[in-house]
Amino acid sequence: MTAAANPEEPAMTDDPVVTPEDGEQEFLSATNQAKSKYGRFNLAIIGGSGVGKSSLVNAVFGRDWAKTGKGLPVTRGVQYFHDETLGIWDVEGFEIGSSVPPREQLRAHLETIKTHPADTQIAVVWYCIKATDDRLTPADIEMIRELAADGLPVVLVLTKVDWSKNPITGARGVAKDLESFVEWLEEPVDENGEPLSIPYERVILTSTRDKHGKGKGHGLGELVAETLSLSPENEKDAFRIAQRLNLPWKREMARPIIAAASAAAGAAAAVPVPVADAAVLAPIQLGMMGRIAAIYDLDIKVMLSAGALAQLGVQITGQALARSFLKVIPVAGSVISAGVALSLTAATGEAWMRLCEQVHTGKIDPAKIGEAWGQFAPSVLDVGKKWAEQKVAKS
């Protein structure tokens, strides 16, 4: 960019001007608004030491609470771990040898939790039992009843399940003892054969690793789906954002944002603007990017400097791409029309969503997100496809 001869006057240039302050403000403002809108999902995990709670949280949410040290001791037997999008109430199981009955112990914990702010209150409970235990103790049953009495939906999670694979059918199975335990859980009876009330919503068998200590485990997708179904309506999106296993949920949330931004870009160019003025699209596109980043639970402020954000803003204004696009579609003319603006923004949104997904899943180093954008930036072909799609939609 050529420096201005007079410091009081702006430089004359065909390049869009997006200052670091403008880029950072548009992007971060949209991200913060989105995070505020979606809020935090709070999960309670109950189980004894060694049951695998930390591994379960890490596998589903990508948070290693044990290493981060962000726990807040609340009371004996209870800790609260949280960030902007996820809160975890870690509640120990019944303390053996205590003179206080299990229901009373848990009731005291629940009452303590209720004294905390509204955005920390429990939405769903995972009650964890190690699969090799093959049983629910009377204390477990009493605690599950107390949770249900408090109006909390409980998923009974059997952890550290060792699956075997049928060499002929390929079907997975479990040990006979565990199979019998699960059958009992479906229709529990007491020692006299009388029906027993254990008010959990569903039992799910899980493992966070295969028997060789590798892989992504089993049953986690079912656990995530069940947790979403039990979540309050106003917290479902927060859970979709916090979890890291179901990417289609995030795409479903991102695409309406892309559509809205594309429509806004089209409206901004209702009176066609010269290619040199393509920067008018930057605030719309930066806001779109910020909202999508929030859905993928990315803290872009930590990942990028203000200057890097501004550089992304310059790249996504689409000026260079618009010039190339107008060359291959002569009927578009020499200006950015509503259709061109819409197509550019839609293609940019899809590209940014794919990049966010790669960062979210750990395939791209967050520190290199600025460098990686060049690999994802929409091509002329991508924009042309969006152009063709909208033409077909109008016909």
Q: What percent of the chain has pLDDT over 90?
A: 42
pLDDT tens string 228-237? 999 999 999 9
Same domain, 145 and 234: yes
Instruction: Flag whether 25 is in a domain.
Output: no
Q: Give me the long-range contacts of 354-361 (CB less than 8 A, separation at least 24).
A: 356/254, 356/292, 356/293, 356/295, 356/296, 356/298, 357/247, 357/250, 357/251, 357/296, 359/296, 359/298, 359/303, 360/244, 360/247, 360/250, 360/296, 360/297, 360/298, 361/244, 361/247
Cα dihedral 187, 193, 194, 195 in deg (nearest 10): 0
Contact 314, 28 (CB under 8 A): no
257-294: string of b/e by CB count within 10 Å (b at 16+)? Answer: bbebbbbbbbebbeebbebebbbebbbbbbbbbbbbbb
Q: Is residue 26 part of a domain?
A: no
Backbone angles phi, psi at 167, to 5 degrees: -65, -20
Q: For residue 29, tell me if it sits in a domain.
A: no
Least confident of 152-156, 245-249, 274-278: 274-278
- pLDDT class of 264 with cuts at 50, 70, 90: very high
pLDDT tops 50 at residue 272 = yes
pLDDT(14) > 50? no
Phi–psi pair at 176, nearest 5 degrees: -60, -40
For all residues of the chain together, what is the average pLDDT? 80
The lowest-confidence range among 113-122, 209-218, 235-244 is: 209-218
| Number of domains making up the chain | 2
Average pLDDT over residues 18-43: 76
pLDDT on residue 72: 55
**Are 222 and 341 part of one and the same domain?**
no
The better pLDDT of the pair 279, 122 is held by: 122
Which CATH number covers residue 138?
3.40.50.300
pLDDT, residue 49, reads: 81
Better-predicted residue by pLDDT, 243 or 211: 243
Band the pLDDT of 278: cuts 50, 70, 90: low
E-only strand ranges, 131-188:
154-159, 164-165, 172-173
Ranges 1-10, 96-105, 215-224, 311-320: which has the least confidence: 1-10
Q: What is the mean pLDDT of residues 12-30?
A: 55
Same domain, 139 and 96: yes
pLDDT band (50, 70, 90) for residue 365: confident
Provide the residue range defining the domain that includes 348: 246-394
pLDDT digits (tens, 9 = 90+) for 318-334: 555 566 566 555 555 56
Q: Note whether 316 and 192 are same-domain residues.
A: no
Same domain, 296 and 383: yes
Which residue carries 């993928």 as its tokens? 296
Distance of CA 239 to the CA centre of its chain: 7
Q: What is the mean pLDDT of residues 3-24?
A: 41
**Averaged pLDDT for residues 248-253:** 97
Q: Are residues 254 and 387 in the same domain?
A: yes
Q: Is the pLDDT of residue 66 over 60?
A: no
Say whether pLDDT at 69 is over 50: no
Nearest to 46 by CA among 70, 82, 79, 71: 79
212: pLDDT strictly greater than 90: no
Predicted local distance difference test score (pLDDT) of residue 18: 43
372 lies in some domain: yes
Provide the 10 A C-beta neighbour count for residue 134: 16
Lowest mean pLDDT among 135-139, 173-177, 227-231, 337-341: 337-341
Domain match, 135 and 185 both: yes
Judged against a pLDDT cut of 50, whether residue 94 lies above it is answered with yes
Predicted local confidence at residue 192, as pLDDT? 87
pLDDT at position 240 over 80? yes
Does 324 lie in the same domain as 210?
A: no
Predicted confidence (pLDDT) at residue 52 exceeds the cutoff of 80: yes
- Same-domain pairing of 84 and 170: yes
Is residue 226 in a domain? Answer: yes
Tell whether 225 and 288 lie within a shared domain. no
Q: Between these two residues, 136 and 4, which has the higher pLDDT value?
A: 136
